[in-house]
Amino acid sequence: MPERRRQARGERRMAQLLDAAADVFAENGYAKATTNAVAARAGVSPGTLYQFFANKEALAAGLAERYRSALAQAHEQAFDPGFATLPLPELVDRMVEPMIAVNLENPGFKALFTAADMPAHVAAPARELHAAVAGRIGSVIAARLPDRPPEDVHRTAVVATQIFGALLGTILSADGDRDRWVAELKQALIGYLAAFESGGA
């Protein structure tokens, strides 16, 4: 895999293709999306697409990388020092709001995050996304409850991530009452995490 030297035009094309992939994935899900459609959406021939991405999975991986970066940036803004001592409802707020915002701005990412259908070898980017989100949640929980076994913290973070993923679709497709569903998501997370904080010991 000898690293290929890219010109400025090539970098622009890659971003363009990822934009198009995000749109196409968002419309019908990853499985139903076609590489030819992505190329067409980007106003480019299939051959050009494959100049920059080895295959369909590479497109997914590129998008996932974008997501991780966007999420990290959003959370960096939302976490000031001392976040760990906030009351639970406010903490959940600080976690959830940026995640929803990022998903609203990047419709394609939900198709990767909610990856129930992907063939096994293609699911790698989705798994990494899940792991990234769970990692963030886990580190916040660990900061609040330093005495808990890491294994318990991890399991709780995974469950919280899955709850988030489960409601994401409903939230994104809701129009007028989106805030209502977001409130339900927060309530579910608060209820679950409160039990973890008070229990276990």
Partner DNA sequence: AGAAAGTACGAGCTTTTGCTCGCATTTGTC
Partner DNA sequence: GACAAATGCGAGCAAAAGCTCGTACTTTCT
Which residues in this chain contact DNA in the complex, by CB under 7 A? Answer: 4-11, 13, 32-36, 43-48, 50-52, 55-57
Maximum pairwise Cα distance, the chain: 59
96 binds, among a copy of itself, DNA, none (CB under 5 to 8 A by kind): none
Look up residue 17 and give its two tokens: 């293709």
Asked if 119 interacts with a copy of itself (CB under 8 A), we say: yes
Part of the chain binding a copy of itself (CB under 8 A), chosen from 4-12, 24-32, 39-47, 79-87:
24-32
Give, in order, the Cα–Cα distances in Å from 140 to each of 64, 119, 159: 22, 32, 14
Part of the chain binding a copy of itself (CB under 8 A), chosen from 52-60, 72-80, 110-118, 132-140:
110-118
- The DSSP result for 106-169, as a single string, is -THHHHHHS-SSS-GGG-HHHHHHHHHHHHHHHHHHHHH-TTS-HHHHHHHHHHHHHHHHHHHH
Asked if 187 interacts with a copy of itself (CB under 8 A), we say: yes
* Shortest Å, Cβ 199 to a copy of itself: 8
* Shortest Å, Cβ 33 to DNA: 6
CB atoms within 10 A of CB 31: 14
* Shortest Å, Cβ 62 to a copy of itself: 20
Within 150-169, the residues that bind a copy of itself by CB under 8 A are 155-156, 158-159, 162-163, 165-167, 169
Within 30-69, the residues that bind a copy of itself by CB under 8 A are 30-32
- The DSSP result for 29-89, as a single string, is HHHH--HHHHHHHTT--HHHHHHH-SSHHHHHHHHHHHHHHHHHHHHHHH--TTGGGS-HH
Q: Are 91 and 76 in contact (CB under 8 A)?
A: no
156 binds, among DNA, a copy of itself, none (CB under 5 to 8 A by kind): a copy of itself
End-to-end alpha carbon distance in the chain? 50
Which of these, 109, 118, 147, lies nearest to 57 by C-alpha position? 118
137 binds, among a copy of itself, DNA, none (CB under 5 to 8 A by kind): none
* Shortest Å, Cβ 61 to a copy of itself: 18
Judged by the rule CB under 8 A, the positions of this chain that interact with a copy of itself are 28-32, 114-120, 155-156, 158-159, 162-163, 165-167, 169-170, 180-181, 184-185, 187-188, 190-196, 199
